[in-house]
Amino acid sequence: MSASKDRVVLAYSGGLDTSVAIGWIGEQTGREVITVAVDVGQGGEDLEVIRQRALDCGAVEAYVADARDEFANEYCMPALKANALYEGKYPLVSAISRPVIAKHLVKAARQFGASTVAHGCTGKGNDQVRFEVAITSMAPDMDCISPVRDLALTRDVAIEYAEKHNLPIETTKHNPFSIDQNVWGRAIETGFLEDLWNAPTKDVYVYTDDPTYPPLPDEVVVHFEQGIPTAIDGQPVTPLQAIQELNRRAGAQGVGRIDMVEDRLVGIKSREIYEAPGAVALIEAHQALESVTLERMQRRYKKQMEQAWGELVYEAQWYSPLKKSMDAFIEDTQKYVTGDIRMVLHGGRAVVNGRKTDTGLYDFNLATYETGDTFDQSSSRGFIEIYGMQSKLAAARDVRLGNGVGF
Ligand code: ARG
User: pLDDT for 97-111, tens place per residue?
Assistant: 999 999 999 999 999
Residue type, 258: I
Dihedral of CA atoms 209, 214, 215, 220 in degrees, nearest 10, equals 80
- Whether 272 is in the pocket of ligand 1, judged by its Cβ within 6 Å, is yes
184 and 142: one domain?
no
- Whether 187 is in the pocket of ligand 1, judged by its Cβ within 6 Å, is yes
Identify which of 40, 85, 119, 127 to mutate to test ligand 1's pocket (most ligand atoms within 8 A of the CB).
127
167 and 207: one domain?
no
Rounded mean pLDDT, 194-209: 97
Instruction: Give the angle 288-186-150 at the CA atoms, nearest 5°.
Output: 130
Q: What is the pLDDT of residue 171?
A: 85
- Whether 276 is in the pocket of ligand 1, judged by its Cβ within 6 Å, is no
Residue nearest to atom 1 of ligand 1 (CA): 272
Residue nearest to atom 4 of ligand 1 (CA): 126
Across all residues in the chain, what is the average pLDDT? Answer: 95
- pLDDT at residue 122 above 50? yes
**Binding annotation for L-aspartate:** 122, 126-127
Residue 17 known to be catalytic: yes
- pLDDT at residue 5 above 80? no
For the domain that residue 51 is a member of, what is the CATH number?
3.40.50.620
pLDDT over 90, % of the chain: 93
124 and 205: one domain?
no
- Domain membership of residue 370 (yes or no) is no
For residue range 85-97, list pLDDT tens digits in order. Answer: 999 999 999 999 9
- Whether 94 is in the pocket of ligand 1, judged by its Cβ within 6 Å, is yes
Under 8 Å CB-to-CB from 136, ≥6 apart: which residues? 142, 144
pLDDT band with cut points at 50, 70 and 90 for residue 175? confident
59 and 133: one domain?
yes
- Structural domain harbouring 243: 176-293+335-354
Q: At which of 156, 173, 190 does a domain end?
A: 173
Domain count, the chain: 2
- Domain membership of residue 330 (yes or no) is no
Judge whether 180 and 49 are in contact, CB under 8 Å. Answer: no
Q: What is the pLDDT of residue 149?
A: 95
211 and 119: one domain?
no
Total length of the chain: 407
Helix or strand or coil: residue 164?
Answer: helix
- Domain membership of residue 247 (yes or no) is yes
Q: How much of the chain is helix, strand and coil, in % rounded to 5?
A: 45, 20, 35
* Closest ligand 1 atom number to CA of residue 272: 1
Residue 127 known to be catalytic: yes
pLDDT band with cut points at 50, 70 and 90 for residue 1? very low
165 and 18: one domain?
yes
Q: Which residues pair with 117 in a beta bridge?
A: 9, 144
**Binding annotation:** 11-19, 90, 120, 122, 126-127, 130, 178, 262, 274
Residue 156 known to be catalytic: no
**Binding annotation for L-citrulline:** 90, 126, 130, 178, 262, 274
pLDDT band with cut points at 50, 70 and 90 for residue 406? low
Q: Which residues pair with 344 in a beta bridge?
A: 219, 351
For residue range 7-22, list pLDDT tens digits in order. Answer: 999 999 999 999 999 9
* Closest ligand 1 atom number to CA of residue 188: 11
Q: At which of 173, 200, 228 does a domain end?
A: 173
Identify which of 13, 126, 204 to mutate to test ligand 1's pocket (most ligand atoms within 8 A of the CB).
126
- pLDDT at residue 261 above 80? yes
For residue range 344-394, list pLDDT tens digits in order. Answer: 999 999 999 999 999 999 999 999 998 888 999 999 999 999 999 999 999
- pLDDT at residue 158 above 90? yes
Residue type, 271: R
Which of the residues 4, 178, 325, 380 is marked catalytic?
178
* Closest ligand 1 atom number to CA of residue 126: 4
**Distance between CA atoms of 8 and 113, rounded to whole angstroms?**
9
199 and 168: one domain?
no
CA–centroid distance, residue 220 to ligand 1 (Å): 30
For residue range 112-121, list pLDDT tens digits in order. Answer: 999 999 999 9
Residue 98 known to be catalytic: yes
Among 252, 223, 236, 260, which residue's Cα sits nearest to residue 89?
Answer: 260
Strand order in the sheet with 269-275: 178-182, 185-189, 269-275, 257-263
Query: Helices then strands (H, E): number in the chain?
Result: 15, 14
CA–centroid distance, residue 256 to ligand 1 (Å): 16
